[in-house]
Amino acid sequence: MRLRPGLAQRLGLLQHQLHRRILLIRRVLVLAKGKALAPQAKRAAITAMVDQFHLSERRACRLVGLARDSYRHPPQETEMNQALSAKIIGCRSRYQSARTRG
């Protein structure tokens, strides 16, 4: 199947633009590779890629390394989780203060 000359040229141009965008995104990700990104930062990066570069959510999630389900459903803070986190932080600070004294 042959494409019309104008259509083939347009397709080639779109492929070239997409390739340039992917290379730019990969450069940004390589710079960030030295530092582990928290899931919140990954979600922000995915949102920026989808909005600014018009990438699909699937491709952006794959490039960043975050599951699409994790992107779509961020964790919900419950009272029980907050209480547990406070207890863990309290234990940690008691352990650190005991360790520095002795």
Give the tens place of pLDDT for each residue, 6-16: 887 888 888 88
Say how many domains are in the chain.
Answer: 1
What is the pTM for the complete model shown?
A: 0.53
* N residues, the chain: 102
Long-range contacts: 52-56, Cβ < 8 Å, 24+?
53/21, 53/24, 53/25, 55/21, 55/25
Q: What is the predicted pLDDT for the residue at 37? A: 75
Q: What is the predicted pLDDT for the residue at 84? A: 92
Number of H helices, E strands in the chain: 5, 0
Give the tens place of pLDDT for each residue, 18-40: 888 777 777 766 666 656 678 88
Domain that holds residue 71: 5-101
